[in-house]
Chains A and B, each alone.
Chain A
Amino acid sequence: VSRRVLLVDDERPIREMATMLLERARWAVDTDEHGEAALTRLADDAAYDVVVLDHRMPGLTGLATASQLREQGVDLPIVLFSAYLDPEVEAQATRIGVLPVSKGEIVQLPSLLERLTDGRGPAVVDD
């Protein structure tokens, strides 16, 4: 069984690039374009190892999406993957156990997710 990540970002180039990097590190990646879609998806299927949320998106922000997930009792590791976080948003994220990560660290995202999910790393996927 491979490690699964749900990646939520309204920007197609970011979704594509992050997917490519994560798949190369043998993650199974699903993507959504906005927070509402992610909430619906996770309500049906919560079998993910980690959720990566962009913050600044139309509709629900990443932080608002994360808050709703926490209220619903979802205790998966969540990364707030954003271009810009004001200190207030960052503090709120930390308070609900969400890790803020800058978009500039996209290359490090796979290893970061690996550490975040107990360092066990994703299982090898058969191609």
Chain B
Amino acid sequence: LLEGSVGTDVPSSGTFEAKLWALAEAAVLIGSQRSVDGRLRVTAEQARSIIGAQIGSASLTVTGSGAHDGWPQGHVAVSSSPGYASRQGPAEPPGDPVLYGLVCAENRVVRMTDEQLHTHPLGPQLDDQRGRRPPLRGWLAAPLVASDGTNLGLLQLSDRDEGEFVAVDEAILVQLAQLASVAVENALLHEQLMAQERQELTEDLLAGLSHDMQTPLAVILGAMQVLQAGPDAPVEQRLGLYELLQTQADRLQRLVQQLLDYVRLESDQLVVLRRERLDLRVLLDDLVGFTGPGRLRPIEVPSDLPPVEADPDRLMQVLSNLVGNAIKFSAEPVQLEVRAEADGLRIDVVDRGEGIEPTELALVFDKLYRTDRAREAGVPGHGLGLYVSRSLVQAMGGTLTVASAPGVGSRFTVWLPAGEGRP
């Protein structure tokens, strides 16, 4: 009863070739959708239009407790003709839990004429459903099968435009189901990976931000406690504590600034920059104050530097990000090089740290990206600094680039264009 047979229905060659051509086009259309639901929807539409039926659907078998033999189906994508939809109300997929089982439990193709369908032992059950679903007129269904041979779902049609479903229809549907299986399985895997990645990114960002906020806060809380509890503390100790309070508050302030910049960049808002003639010596003094003693080699500033207009606070933000990174990843002091180059000013931040793997070099400026090594080694950070820094430098008309080799170190280069020098 259920065995479809190929060979008795000979198609006119033109029609068959046209359908094969349509099948190739269907593959492209399915692939143009990126989501699982999109790929199922196009698959159902293409099956219905190529073979010519009033209603079709593509769906995925739900697995888990209580689910068996292809029931229930999820991600159901239905395609029906306009006439069918208006005549019958909201379209529901053809088929039935038991019918689905015939296809999904054994990954079999099922083709039934209208008479076969209604003389089938399942006939009465199908008739029972007439109240809530349009009656079926013939049925053609092919399984969607994963690469490991397990059932993914099914692709089904009912109510052929003319006559009964024939062997060529079955051959086309099987081809389409195979195309769709690969496409849908890929989309499923991709969606799973993305969900996992989002989860990991969120956790990593949370851990990084939490660390970077809690550390200065803890120091501030501790310093306040000592200052309050011990008004008789030596002057040097009190001054030391006030300085500690200041540096930790600055650190928090920079983090908040960075977060605000990140949110603005994410929502495509412009970061407002000041433009003023840069006094590099003041900036570099601030930078030495930021790093603390011994972490930065003495900086030589040439006298022939071109005038540059930039936002000094934002450039300080960029340089402290770069120097802060270099210190994190390198035990040796960090080298800062300043020179005139290519109609602009070039500042290099050079470390002899672990370096960056070639495969990761292009990714380090991506938002929230952290190198595998940094994550695995638990180096504090949150993946905001380089992303925000590059955006800021670009907003100032410059570039931020990196060269690095594992085991040798990294060189981050800020280049800013020479601007109109104001006297």
Contact = CB atoms under 8 A, between A and B. Distances in A.
Contact of B248 (A10, A13, A20, A104): A13
B146 interface: no
Contacts of B248: 13
Q: Which of B203, B219, B244 has the most A CB atoms < 10 Å from its CB? A: B219
Contacts, number: 71
A13 B215 contact: yes
Contacts of A18: 222
Nearest to B380: A56
B409 interface: no
Interface in A29-50: none
B45 to A, nearest CB: 44
A14 B230 CA distance: 19
Interface stretch (B129-137, B205-213, B266-274, B392-400): B205-213
B225 interface: yes
B211 A84 contact: yes
A61 B211 CA distance: 14
Given A58-B378, A83-B214, A103-B214, A17 B222 contact: yes
Main secondary structure of the interface of B (DSSP, over half): helix
On chain B, which size bracket covers the interface? 20 to 34
B291 to A, nearest CB: 12
Contact of A58 (B203, B229, B244, B379): B379
A83 B213 contact: yes
A17 B379 contact: no
A127 B109 CA distance: 89
27 contacts: A11-B215, A13-B216, A13-B219, A13-B248, A16-B244, A17-B218, A17-B219, A18-B222, A20-B226, A24-B226, A24-B230, A55-B378, A56-B211, A58-B378, A58-B379, A83-B211, A83-B212, A84-B206, A84-B207, A84-B214, A103-B215, A104-B214, A104-B217, A106-B218, A106-B222, A107-B221, A107-B222
Interface of A: 10-11, 13-14, 16-18, 20-21, 24, 55-59, 61, 83-84, 86, 102-104, 106-107
Interface of B: 203, 206-207, 210-219, 221-223, 225-226, 229-230, 244, 247-248, 328, 377-380
List the 8 closest pairs (A to B, CB-CB), nearest first: A83-B214, A84-B210, A17-B222, A83-B211, A103-B218, A106-B218, A103-B214, A13-B219
